[in-house]
Chains A and B, each alone.
Chain A
Amino acid sequence: MNKSIIEATSDHHRGLLCETANLEATDYWLTADTATIFTVYGRILLLELYGEITENMAGAAQPNFAYVSTTPVIAKADICAVSASIAGLVTGNRVVWPGGTTGGTLVITGIAYDSPANAGVGFILGGVTAAGVNMIGGITADGSVADATDGNVRFTCVYAPMSTGAYVRPAV
């Protein structure tokens, strides 16, 4: 198969995919940090969400992910529970949103470039207003407990639109 067929088949099987830039963990996983990494337009089915370590981590941060809506305003709510310390993660490790329920713990098991994927059911995020306009919200990367003091990470979001014109874009 040529590359376009592989990509199209993957989109249909897995969902649409977008990635952030390669980010400094010290900008996103500070103790009291919350930063929007993906902008969500409309109603989506979230299928996969993970951060792939691209430079060894330092600092005992315990991150998680959350959803927040800006239009209309809906308070930020966690979509998983914080992981254990990421201090020992090395390049190729992933921090993986577990799906299922918001009580599921962010997964950091696995070895470099070999990790579990989302094992739970997907979440429906966002919505559509009474006027029929897609809500605008964001998926945030949140730190807790301690600051990340070194390391890089790139976040990936895989989704399917659930309202007309819904999509996700990296915010950073």
Chain B
Amino acid sequence: MGSLTFNYNQDTQDMIGAIIGGIRVETPVLSTLATYWTNPVTYAVFNVTGLIKIIAMYMEVTGVFDAGASTLVFRWTGTTPAVGIATMGVASGSMATSAVGSRWTFLGPGTVTAGPSAGISYLPAPFLVGGKTGAGVNATGVISALIAGGTQAADASGRYVLHYAAMTEGANAVSAI
């Protein structure tokens, strides 16, 4: 007997991916060094409406990082109702020399971590972000990235990816870039 593959059409495969791996949103590839990879810089990456469960969130390296000791941490800011900017977890170690395919992954209260190697990363524990007001209205907020520690001066680029599930009616997340 030969090998076995179920020949579903692409839409069906993508739907199964969304059911198991969550709904996926991505930023574009971010390559403007002064805007995205300079110490320090912060920018919104995802706008969140309502309560979502983060299944995975990471920055996937698409252009190799140089020796600059850049670090990454995600932050949450409530828009409605207003909640002051708060750090989500602990900043990564240096992202210097990160290879293409590396994923710096949000680990809830843990440290943003890559690896174990380019092209291979672990599925993190899920995390809840956002909420709903007492009036039953979906809160809105922003997940942002803070780059600090060092500056990239060469070819660094990456995209932010969020896989999530809606936890309140009408909840969703979209790229802020």
**Chain B 3-25 interface residues, beta-carbon cutoff 8 Å to A:** 3-6, 8, 10, 13-14, 16-17, 19-21, 24
Segment of A24-32, A88-96, A121-129 in the binding face: A121-129
Residues of B within 8 A of A160 (CB): 16-17, 19-21
- As a 0/1 sequence over residues 106 to 128 of chain B, the CB contacts with chain A under 8 angstroms (1 = contact) are 00000000001111111111000
Segment of B82-90, B95-103, B146-154 in the binding face: B95-103
Interface size bracket, A side: 35 or more
| Pick from B1, B2, B13, B120: contact of A125, CB under 8 Å | B120
Interface size of B in residues (CB-CB distance below 8 Å): 39
Is A111 engaged at the interface, CB distance under 8 Å to the other chain? no
Residues of B within 8 A of A112 (CB): none
Is A87 engaged at the interface, CB distance under 8 Å to the other chain? no
Cβ–Cβ contact A162 & B101, under 8 A: no
CB closest chain-B residue, reference A132: B29
Cβ–Cβ contact A169 & B122, under 8 A: no
Cβ–Cβ contact A135 & B119, under 8 A: yes
Residues of A within 8 A of B118 (CB): 69, 74-75, 77
Q: Chain A: residues with CB nearer than 8 A to chain B?
A: 7, 11-12, 15-22, 43, 45, 47, 67, 69, 72, 74-75, 77, 79, 100-102, 121-130, 132, 135, 137, 160-167, 169-170, 172
Chain A to chain B contacts (Cβ below 8 Å), 27 pairs: A7-B6, A11-B6, A15-B16, A16-B8, A16-B16, A17-B6, A45-B20, A45-B123, A69-B101, A101-B122, A102-B120, A121-B124, A123-B121, A123-B123, A124-B122, A127-B60, A128-B60, A130-B62, A135-B119, A160-B16, A161-B14, A161-B17, A162-B17, A165-B14, A166-B17, A167-B13, A170-B3
